[in-house]
């Protein structure tokens, strides 16, 4: 029959194990301006998990159709299939159905998610003990927060900036400059307009106000 000390030790060890599990599962937000390497970072993280025989689920917004809907694509040519997210997608339900087999959830273009979907990411961490990493822009071309990035900033456990340099100078890029077909800066219009280097430049605050175009 186990002694009182042995039972106490097992109870203590159980609490420590549960604490370790909770520490491992966190909601991460990695944001950066255009061209800061967010998509390639997702592909790298996925590779690192799978190299250790650990499974990941990759999601991406269906809004971004520059390459093809349902793919995470990097500027250097690497791409990978992902689960597309539209406003009605039940992210929590999708992950819950595979919870016993998933080690991490990765979300590209997280800025395009709505508040309810960001709360679902938090639930995946808190209720399923699966870490979630969201990658995306923080601010739009008018320097307003996207809905998804706003709530990631509020709910994420860890927030990390992915850095790149300004297109026009050597300062750190913190903003995204939109240009029209003639290459002129645009400061008004719809928040979401999908585009690449032909439409947006990563810029510093000074060059956003006075770009060298």
The reply to whether 109 belongs to the active site is yes
Q: Model's pTM, two decimal places?
A: 0.83
Contacts of 91 (CB under 8 A, 6+ apart): 59, 85, 107, 117, 120, 121, 124
Residue 46 has pLDDT above 90, yes or no: yes
How confident is the model at residue 20, as a pLDDT?
A: 45
In angstroms, the first-to-last Cα distance of the chain is 81
CB atoms within 10 A of CB 23: 9
pLDDT average, residue stretch 87-116: 95
Q: Which of 23-27, 38-42, 157-161, 196-200 has the lowest mean pLDDT?
A: 196-200
Q: What is the 3-state secondary structure (H, E, C) of 46-60?
A: HHHHHHCCCCEEEEE
pLDDT band at 136 (very low <50, low <70, confident <90, very high): very high
pLDDT for the residue 35: 86
The single-letter DSSP state of residue 173 is: P
**Spatial strand order in the sheet of 200-203:** 185-186, 175-179, 200-203
pLDDT digits (tens, 9 = 90+) for 48-76: 999 999 999 999 988 866 667 878 877 77
Task: Please give the order of strands across the beta sheet that includes 158-161.
Answer: 83-85, 56-61, 104-108, 132-136, 27-31, 158-161
Over residues 185-208, mean pLDDT: 84
Per-residue pLDDT at 100: 85
Model confidence over 17-29: pLDDT tens digits?
444 444 589 999 9
Of the listed 109, 127, 144, 190, which one is catalytic? 109
């Amino acid at each position: 029959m186990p002694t009182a000390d042995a039972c106490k030790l097992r109870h203590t060890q159980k609490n420590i194990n549960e604490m370790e599990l909770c520490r491992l599962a966190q909601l991460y937000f990695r944001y950066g301006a255009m061209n800061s390497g967010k998509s390639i970072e997702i592909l790298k993280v996925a590779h690192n998990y799978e190299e250790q025989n650990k499974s990941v689920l990759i999601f991406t917004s269906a809004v971004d159709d520059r390459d093809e809907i349902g793919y995470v694509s990097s500027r250097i040519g690497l791409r990978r299939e992902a689960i597309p997210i539209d406003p009605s997608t039940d992210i929590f339900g999708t992950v819950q159905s595979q919870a016993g087999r998933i080690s991490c959830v990765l979300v590209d273009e997280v800025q395009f998610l709505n508040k309810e979907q960001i709360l679902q990411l938090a639930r995946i961490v808190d209720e399923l003990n699966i870490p979630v990493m969201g990658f995306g822009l923080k601010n739009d071309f008018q320097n307003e927060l996207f809905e998804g990035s706003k709530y990631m900033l509020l709910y994420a456990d860890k927030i990390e900036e992915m850095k790149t340099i300004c297109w026009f100078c050597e300062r750190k890029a913190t903003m995204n400059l939109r240009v029209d077909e003639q290459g002129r800066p645009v400061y008004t219009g719809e928040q979401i307009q999908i585009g690449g280097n032909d439409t947006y430049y990563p810029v510093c605050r000074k060059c956003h106000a006075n770009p060298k175009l």
